[in-house]
Amino acid sequence: MQKSINRLNARFLHIQIYLTRSADMNQVPGQLRAVTYYGRPRWEEIIGVAREQLEREEYAWGVERVGVYLCGGHALGKELAKVCRTYTDGKYKFRFKKEHF
C-alpha cells in the first residue's frame, strides 16, 4: 500500500519517482537517490496537496504557476493532464509537460 502524501516539500523542485511495472526493488535499475513509490501515482492527491500549499502561501516566492513534468506512458500522461486542468484556475496554473525517451 502506498503511503499517503500529507505534505509536499515546498522547495523549488520536488521529484517523486513511481515504479509502475514492478513491486520488486531488485528490478530497480541502479541506485535511485529519491524515494521510489510502487504502483500508479494518485494524481488528485499529489496535485491537490500542492494546490492547498499554494493557497496557504507556503511557498516563499508567491508562486502561482507550477510546472508538472512526466516521463511515462500515454495513459499516465492523459490522467495527469486532466488533473492539472482541474486544479488550474484564474489564479493558479498547473502547466503539464510530458517527456518521451
Decide: 36 and 18 in contact? Cβ < 8 Å.
yes
Number of domains in the chain: 1
- The overall average pLDDT reported for the chain is 80
Q: What is the model's pLDDT at position 80?
A: 95
Mean pLDDT for 32-45 is: 82
Predicted confidence band of residue 70 (pLDDT cuts 50, 70, 90): very high
Indicate whether 91 belongs to any domain: yes
Please state, in angstroms and rounded to a whole number, the distance separating the CA atoms of residues 7 and 10. Answer: 9
Of residues 31 and 42, more confidence is placed in 42
Q: Which of 5-19, 67-81, 86-100 has the lowest mean pLDDT?
A: 5-19
Decide: 70 and 76 in contact? Cβ < 8 Å.
yes
Indicate whether 11 belongs to any domain: no
Boundaries of domain holding 81: 17-99
Q: What is the model's pLDDT at position 94?
A: 95
* This prediction's pTM: 0.74
